[in-house]
C-alpha cells in the first residue's frame, strides 16, 4: 500500500477517534443521563470499525513487507559472504597446492641428483684410473669407494657386473683368476 494512502487512513482514524470522543461526551447531559445523540454516532462507529479493520490489514501487510525485505536482505548477505569466502578458500588452496608441488619437485630433483651423483662418482673414478682395456680393469680401493657411494645414495648394496662377450671371455677368465687377490 502506498504511503500516501496509509497516511490518509491514519488521518481518518485519528479524526474518527476524535468524533467518537466528542460523541461520547455530547451523549451525556450534565446530570449523567444519555440523550438521543449517542445513537446517531452508531453509524459512524461501524464506519470506524471498518476503517480499523482496513488499517489492521494495512499494518499486517506492512509487517509482512518489512519481514520479506529483511529476509531477502539476510539471504543476499549470506550468499555474498559465501561466494567471497569460497573464492578466497579456493585461491588459498590453489596457492598452497602449487607451493607444495614446487617444494616436492625441488626436493625430488635434489635427492635424485645427490643419489645419482654419488653413484656416478664411482663410474667417473673407474674411467679416470683406467689404464687397462675394459672389462679387464681392477679399481683401486673399490670397497671404500663403493661403501661411500652406497651411503650417499641410500642404496642397500652396489654391485659391479661387467658384460663380457664371448670373444673377451678367455682373457677375462685369465685376468680374474690372476688378479683374484686384488678384487675379492
83-92, 146-155, 163-172: which range is least confident on average?
146-155
pLDDT in tens, 49-65: 999 999 999 999 999 99
Whether the CB-CB separation of 134 and 172 falls below 8 Å is answered with: no
DSSP string, 136-148: S---TTHHHHHHH
Whether the CB-CB separation of 60 and 25 falls below 8 Å is answered with: no
**What is the spatial distance between Cα 127 and Cα 114, in angstroms, rounded to a whole number?**
20
* pLDDT attached to residue 141: 75
Q: Is the pLDDT of residue 33 over 60?
A: no
Which SS3 state, helix, strand or coil, does residue 17 take? helix
Q: Is the pLDDT of residue 40 over 50?
A: no
Average pLDDT of span 75-88: 96
Rounded to 10°, the helix 42-128/3-27 angle is 150
Which SS3 state, helix, strand or coil, does residue 10 take? helix
Tell me the three cell numbers of residue 59: 499494518
Q: What separation, in Å, do the N-terminal and C-terminal C-alpha atoms of the chain show?
A: 107
Cα torsion angle, 172, 177, 179, 180, sign: positive
* pLDDT attached to residue 38: 47
* pLDDT attached to residue 37: 46
pLDDT in tens, 83-103: 999 999 999 999 999 999 999
Greatest mean pLDDT among 53-62, 113-122, 135-144? 53-62
Burial class (CB in 10 A: 0-12, 13-18, 19+), 139: middle
Average pLDDT of span 38-43: 54
Q: Is the pLDDT of residue 157 over 50?
A: yes
Amino acid at each position: 500500500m502506498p504511503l500516501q494512502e496509509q497516511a490518509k487512513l491514519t488521518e481518518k482514524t485519528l479524526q474518527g477517534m476524535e468524533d467518537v470522543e466528542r460523541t461520547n461526551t455530547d451523549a451525556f447531559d450534565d446530570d449523567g443521563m444519555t440523550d438521543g445523540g449517542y445513537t446517531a454516532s452508531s453509524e459512524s462507529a461501524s464506519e470506524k470499525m471498518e476503517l480499523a479493520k482496513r488499517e489492521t490489514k494495512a499494518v499486517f501487510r506492512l509487517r509482512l513487507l518489512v519481514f520479506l525485505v529483511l529476509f531477502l536482505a539476510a539471504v543476499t548477505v549470506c550468499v555474498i559472504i559465501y561466494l567471497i569466502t569460497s573464492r578466497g578458500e579456493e585461491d588459498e588452496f590453489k596457492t598452497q597446492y602449487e607451493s607444495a608441488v614446487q617444494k616436492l619437485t625441488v626436493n625430488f630433483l635434489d635427492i635424485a641428483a645427490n643419489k645419482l651423483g654419488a653413484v656416478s662418482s664411482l663410474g667417473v673414478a673407474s674411467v679416470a684410473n683406467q689404464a687397462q682395456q675394459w672389462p679387464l680393469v681392477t679399481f683401486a680401493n673399490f670397497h671404500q669407494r663403493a661403501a661411500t657411494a652406497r651411503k650417499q645414495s641410500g642404496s642397500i648394496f652396489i654391485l659391479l657386473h661387467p658384460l663380457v662377450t664371448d670373444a673377451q671371455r678367455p682373457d677375462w677368465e685369465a685376468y680374474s683368476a690372476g688378479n683374484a687377490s686384488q678384487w675379492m
